[in-house]
Amino acid sequence: MSSPHPLRRALLAVALLLGVALAACGDDDGAGDGPDGSVTLRLLTHDSFAVSDGVFEAFTAETGIRVELLQGGDAGTVVNQAILTKGNPQADVLFGIDSTFLSRALAEDLFVPHEAEGLDLVPDELLLDEEHRVTPVTYGDVCINYDRAWFAEHDVPLPESLDDLTEPRYQDLLVVENPATSSPGLAFLLATIAEYGEDGWQDWWAKARDNGVAVTSGWEDAYYGEFSGGSASEGTRPLVVSYASSPPAEVIYADPPVDEAPTGVLTAGCYRQIEGAGILAGTEHEEEARLLVDFLLSETFQADVALSMFVYPVREGVELPEAFVAHAVTPEDVVTLDPDLIHEHREAWIDEWTDLVLR
């Protein structure tokens, strides 16, 4: 998801190793075509992208097309790279664009329309673009996580709403990420705008500031540095903006093993991020790129995303791993904002937030 997520250090290492391995499978001169006439597609994505061994090999076995990963930073950076190389793209397909940058990319005509095979199995509420320039692939929810042990030891009730977080008993307990530099930070800012409106969110943030909210530049600094609840966390604050899928990651990567995650999820104020893929206009391998986007919606790929990236598949009927189901939280009420509204106001909202919270 545009998205770093739980135990990102481990996932990032996997992703980077995979990128090296896949790059080694590509052609030596980087032209995208092998000496035997085979095609290597380049998939541009963010640094949190990960996939299990053998998944793209299955695509190659089926089509003869190889896949090389180009990982270019966070989701915003990846979109900016695609805009700067518009018409002469460095890759064939982009994965990782979500609603926070969707309208900007569509306004730049970055993508070739493609109605992917399997799109009929994606719920309407997860569709990103009526013209099918961007195909939904995964989704996840940005939510506040809490340290179970801290709240039990201090006999403090869990907050049940965003309003609760501004009460004195939660002073100096919450850490959030800067929306100017962090995808989950931006998602949480959007959650407060969706909750309180374009003229009301400022009041909530002013109260949160006065109540001692801490701000970090990114998810890792917040989760590992300031938060107290993760297995590898070193901080003192028991509330952090993270993901509803953080708990299963904590259980799966726990050493020694645990039966219950040390973290829980507050279901108030959750913002849904839907990540998609698009064929970059100007690719020399448009037909092959269509096959790759189809593959991203296939059962093979969709069944892999839960434990590789700790997000949900968009395709209905995909069986989720038992550990993921047992420990993930699916909020009943999540909020989103219209991508066009985000595109129109994103920079102004971030500037206003910065003036209000950091200055």
> What CATH number corresponds to the domain at position 149?
3.40.190.10
Per DSSP, the chain holds a count of helices (H) and strands (E) of: 14, 11
- 3 part of a folded domain: no
In this structure, the answer to whether residues 263 and 219 fall within a common structural domain is yes
Q: Helix, strand or coil for residue 188?
A: helix
Q: How many other CB atoms are found less than 10 A from the CB of residue 31?
A: 10
Spatial separation of the C-alpha atoms in residues 271 and 264, rounded to whole Å: 16
Confidence grade of residue 8 (pLDDT, cut at 50, 70, 90): very low
Q: Determine the pLDDT at residue 2.
A: 45
Which residues are 274's β-sheet partners? 139
224 domain-assigned: yes
Mean pLDDT, the chain, whole residue set: 90
**Region 267-290: what's the mean pLDDT?**
97
- Residue-by-residue DSSP string for 220-282: HIIIIIIBSSSTT---SBSEEEEETTHHHHHHHT-SS--SS-SEEEEEEEEEEEEEEEEEETT
* pLDDT for residue 353 is more than 90: yes
Per-residue pLDDT, 36 = 65
pLDDT at 99: 85
Residue 196 lies in a domain: yes
Residue 1 lies in a domain: no
Tell me the residue type at 350: I
Same domain, 55 and 112: yes
Q: Which residues contact 223 (CB under 8 A, 6 or more apart)?
A: 6, 8, 145, 230, 233, 240, 242, 246
The position carrying tokens 């971030």 is: 350
**DSSP secondary-structure letter at 326?**
H
Residues of the domain holding 171: 141-272+329-357
Q: pLDDT-derived band of residue 181, with 50, 70 and 90 as boundaries?
A: confident
Same-domain pairing of 298 and 339: no
Same domain as 113, residue 21: yes
Strand partners, 273: 140
CA dihedral of residues 216, 218, 220, 223 (deg, nearest 10): 50
User: Of 192, 185, 186, which is closest to residue 226 (Cα–Cα)?
Assistant: 185
Rounded Cα distance, 2 and 98, in Å: 6
Residues 263 and 319 in one domain: no
Across 82-108, average pLDDT? 93
User: 56 and 176 in one domain?
Assistant: no
Domain total of the chain: 2
Is the link from the previous residue into 256 a cis peptide, with omega within 30 of 0? yes
Tokens 């190793």 belong to residue = 17
Q: Does residue 18 surpass a pLDDT of 90?
A: no
Q: Among residues 307, 309, 277, which one has the least CA distance to residue 295?
A: 277
pLDDT at position 10, please? Answer: 44
Structural domain contains residue 2: no
* Confidence label for 61 from pLDDT (cuts 50, 70 and 90): very high
Structure confidence at residue 35 (pLDDT): 60
pLDDT recorded at residue 23: 38
Q: What is the distance between the alpha carbons of residues 324 and 262, in angstroms, rounded to a whole number? A: 15
Same domain for 145 and 263? yes
Same domain, 230 and 337: yes
The better pLDDT of the pair 297, 220 is held by: 297
Q: What residues contact 21, with CB distance under 8 A and at least 6 apart? A: none
What backbone phi and psi angles, to 5 degrees, belong to 83?
-70, -40
Query: Nearest Cα to 86, choosing from 66, 69, 104, 71?
Result: 104
Asked whether the predicted pLDDT for residue 359 surpasses 70, the reply is yes
pLDDT, position 277: 98
34 pLDDT tier (thresholds 50, 70, 90)? low
Residue 106 lies in a domain: yes
- The percent of residues above 90 in pLDDT, for the chain, comes to 79
Express the helix, strand and coil content of the chain in percent, nearest 5 each. Answer: 40, 20, 40
Query: For 125-129, 169-173, 182-186, 276-280, which range has the lowest pLDDT when averaged over its residues?
Result: 182-186
pLDDT category at 266 given cuts 50, 70, 90 is very high
pLDDT beyond 50 at 244: yes
CB crowding 183-211: b at 16 or more within 10 Å, else e: bbbbbbbbbbbbbbeeeebbebbeebeeb
Cα 196–200–201 angle (5° rounding)?
70
Provide mean pLDDT across the span 70-76: 83
In percent, the amount of the chain with pLDDT more than 70 equals 90
Same domain, 252 and 309: no
pLDDT band, residue 9 (cuts 50/70/90): very low
How many angstroms separate the CA atoms of 220 and 211, rounded? 23
Answer yes or no: is 49 within a domain. yes
Do both 220 and 348 map to the same domain? yes
Q: What is the mean pLDDT of residues 216-224?
A: 92
Mean pLDDT score, 278-286: 98
C-beta separation of 110 from 280 below 8 A: yes
259 with 352, same domain? yes
- Decide if pLDDT at 78 tops 70: yes
At 101, give phi and psi (nearest 5°): -125, 5
* Domain identity same for 53 and 194: no
List beta partners, residue 335.
271
Is residue 231 in some structural domain? yes
Closest CA to 89 of 287, 278, 282: 282
Q: Which two tokens stand for residue 171?
A: 């002073």
pLDDT of residue 48: 83
